[in-house]
Structure 1
């Protein structure tokens, strides 16, 4: 491209968009890349502060910002994502399904570490709805060296930088409510309705529900029964603290669960338990939910549940990494997931 005086630009082809900003009214292009400038256009260009403009001249070693953005799109876009058309050198990606958004952090950082290249995304592991904006990308200059974009390709590797894990359909959920006081009817079970509301947000419901007293064998038997009935996720409530008569963690272990963690660096939710029971060709996620899940708006359960529904098997390391950002601020009006909790 080359720079010329605007008053001499009639007949030339713009190589970039010309943007006009009117505060509180509009921010849009008055002329787009490829527009052939006429005499009538010159006063408009001058009115938006363009005394000089850049017009296209072929340079085989350079790429226009829109072409570079297309390269970034190809390196980021994965299944269940749709891309916008380039606008002023920027492309955005949106979700086409509900699910959990994820970024390959190491490769992503390597790409963003290359000068003049920028990609911005939502936070890691954020639950999103179809239509949610996931990422935006562009290069900084109007034209960029082809060689630099080849460096970007090398840094990105051979698979997309971004991923959207869609929620699984027809996930079967069972609940085991523990506690002699609930089992004998001395107090009302107020925990299960909270879980039903949480699951409803994902289009799920509680298919099987068992009540047990504080006897470990009774609780482990209820868990094993729900596994036999084909549950994909089993939620156990009550008995999750360190009191001597709180025996749910032992019951989950006795039911055959491989415990990923009992305890998590998240507040509320430190006494959370996650394990998996392998049954034939199935893997059943089992969670022990502390009482805070019943009376706090957001807890460890809200961080783990979307990923379990999406079919992800979490590791101890991933749970441990919740620690940074794992302190809920208890805002009067909860805006999760658009907040710092976990992210």
Structure 2
């Protein structure tokens, strides 16, 4: 920091806020710390009594906060995002599409362990809308050693630490199992819920089959949906461990490799996920999906919609944060449910 005449300050960076006070009219910050002085600023500065300024003295190996913020943004920058205007060493990362937001949490933690810089993000695997803020980057001091930003770049490596994946254009087939629905004894209230959730991720329903509690009928329905080009198959009904609930065993017999039957999430413990050899996912949904606002289906579906292959390990990690608190007014996804991973 050095003191110079205001008339010689063009192009220099102010090191402190400068307040303007006009009695009974205004009291505010006329120029913020970090402002780069322009020619038109000189008369204003002189009018508020600033004949001298304390400015940042450019030194080798040091960066202004805005220069450093640009570097932090590039560590985050990837397809389908855009930056806010850089201001006071801060840049926000903004979604340019609807999609699934994912973060390399390990690298993020390592970068935030460095002094005087920070990156704050939404939770990883978070479904977001275009225009929403995904992350904020900030440099703490006005000037910072370039070496610290180089360390952050080294941690990030060749790939940005976050990504925003667009949802795939998918067609879903639905199999509703249950003699009570098959014989028309009750109205099917499950399928409309599933269709609504699928539509949130641009997944259309290409076919819907209602079957009795019979293994062969369930298998045939699944096979027909797959043969007719369904990119995703969703089965409802018959998902418990009762002897006459045959959906899990029928899914297995249909040729799908079961990733999990049972998950550490409430609601949603009886969830089933499998994949066919060609990568087509199939899900068995427990009854809670029909009447609970947020379940494991809401945690898994955005990943499936974005083309992510969900593993057994992914499901196991959902136990941390996998307890819904059943709030009187549900605010999901703006809550802690499912945000452990």
Per the TM superposition, whether the score is higher than 0.5 is: yes
1:314 equivalent to 2:316? Answer no
Whether 2:71 is the aligned partner of 1:59: answer no
Which residue of 2 is the match for residue 324 of structure 1? 320
Match of 1:38 in 2: 42
Name 2:95's counterpart in structure 1: 95
Cα offset, 1:16, TM superposition? 4.8
Counterparts in 2 of 1:29 and 1:41: CA distance versus 1, 3 Å:
closer
Residue 17 of structure 1 deviates from its aligned partner by 8.0
Q: 1:40 to 1:323 in 2, by over 3 A?
A: same
1:247 counterpart residue number: 246
Check whether the contact 2:65–2:143 (CA below 8 A) recurs between aligned residues: yes
Contact persistence 1:17–1:88 (CA under 8 A): no
Sort the Cα spacing of 1:29 and 1:73 in 2 relative to 1 into closer, same or farther, 3 A. Answer: farther
1:148-198, CA deviations, whole angstroms, 9 ceiling, x for partnerless residues? 2211111111110001111012x0101000011111111111100111111
Select which of 2, 12, 33 maps to 2:9. Answer: 12
Deviation at 1:54, TM superposition (A): 3.8
Check 1:231–1:214 CA distance in 2 against 1; reply closer, same or farther (3 A cut). same
Corresponding residue number in structure 1 for 2:109 = 109
Give distance in 1, aligned partners of 2:112 and 2:188.
50
Judged with a 3 Å threshold, the aligned counterparts in structure 2 of structure 1 residues 324 and 288 are, in CA distance, closer, same or farther, namely: same
Aligned to 2:145: 145
SS of alignment partner, residue 114 of structure 1: coil
Distance 1:246 1:68 in 2: 59
Residue 212 (structure 1) aligned with residue 214 (structure 2): no
Q: TM-score, length-normalised on structure 2?
A: 0.90
Cα displacement string for residues 63-98 of structure 1 (whole angstroms, at most 9, x for unaligned residues)? 111111111111111110101221111011111111
Q: Distance in 1 between matches of 2:224 and 2:28?
A: 60
Q: Distance in 2 between matches of 1:201 and 1:187?
A: 27
Residue pair 2:84, 2:92 contacting (<8 A) in 1 also: yes
Query: How far does residue 10 in structure 1 lie from its aligned partner after superposition?
Result: 4.6
Task: Answer with 107-116 or 252-261: which moved more.
Answer: 107-116
In structure 1, C-alpha distance between the alignment counterparts of 2:157 and 2:49, rounded to whole Å:
42
1:52 shift after superposition: 9.3
Aligned residues: 330
User: Which whole-Å CA distance do the structure 2 matches of 1:142 and 1:111 have between them?
Assistant: 19
TM-score by length of 1: 0.89
Q: 1:297 aligns with which of 287, 293, 297?
A: 293
Ranges in structure 1 where 5+ consecutive residues have no aligned partner: none
Shift of 1:264: 0.7
Alignment RMSD: 2.5
Distance of 2:29 and 2:167 partners within structure 1: 36
Counterpart for residue 164 of structure 2: 164
Aligned 8 A contact 1:240 1:271 in 2: yes
Counterpart of 2:126 in structure 1 is 126
Give the Cα–Cα distance (whole angstroms) in 2 for the partners of residues 199 and 243 of structure 1: 28
Name the residue aligned to 2:23. none
Q: Is the 8 A contact 1:15 1:33 kept in 2?
A: yes
* Matches of 2:271 and 2:287, distance apart in 1: 9
